[in-house]
């Protein structure tokens, strides 16, 4: 399966993708004509989290205040629909990967965090709409997506 990537929106996100180890994304990426992240609909939520969300965080595109909120159950549940904090400081675990978090830490504003790995796309627990809404709102705030309303 081939994922096509639009320059203005997703190229910066997908530069973090290791295409050699991904079953979802081919090495041959070409342009998609969209500005509303529809190009992500073919990707599984875990791939989006490990590539797109990780890239946004590592690029420092999230304000420090929001990074603090991402470390709480309440904000993570309300914003992303997940049951655990999106981010967990590596220091709090002594560097040991906690259950329900990806092994490779993400570096945000000079600090390392584990990124929650508990994302679902099933009828009884679908986190995708929450993540997609956050991505759209985040990119609108940062000026990468123009509103088409």
Note the Cα 34 to chain centre separation in Å.
19
Count of domains observed in the chain: 1
Q: Which pair of structure tokens corresponds to residue 69? A: 């909120």
∠ at Cα 126 (51, 59), nearest 5°? 25
Q: Is residue 147 part of a domain?
A: no
Q: Is residue 149 part of a domain?
A: no
Q: Is residue 2 part of a domain?
A: no
Q: Tell me: the pLDDT tens digits for 84-134?
A: 999 999 999 998 999 999 999 999 999 999 999 999 999 999 999 999 999
* Domain coverage including residue 11: 7-141
Cα separations (Å) of 50 from 10, 73, 124, 146, 149? 14, 20, 23, 25, 30
Task: With a cut of 50, say whether residue 81 has pLDDT above it.
Answer: yes
């Amino acid at each position: 399966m081939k994922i096509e990537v639009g320059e203005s929106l997703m190229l910066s996100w997908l530069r973090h993708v290791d295409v050699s180890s991904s079953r979802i994304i081919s090495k041959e990426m070409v342009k998609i004509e969209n500005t509303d992240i529809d190009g992500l609909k073919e990707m599984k939520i875990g791939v989006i989290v490990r590539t797109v969300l990780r890239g946004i965080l590592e690029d420092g595109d999230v304000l420090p205040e929001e990074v603090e909120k991402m470390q709480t159950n309440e904000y993570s549940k309300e914003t992303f629909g997940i049951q655990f904090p999106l981010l967990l400081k590596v220091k709090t675990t002594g560097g040991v990967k906690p259950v329900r978090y990806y092994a490779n830490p993400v570096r945000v504003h000079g600090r390392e965090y584990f990124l929650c790995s508990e994302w679902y796309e099933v009828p009884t627990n679908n986190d995708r709409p929450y993540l997609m809404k956050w991505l759209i709102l985040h990119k609108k705030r940062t000026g990468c997506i123009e509103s088409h309303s």
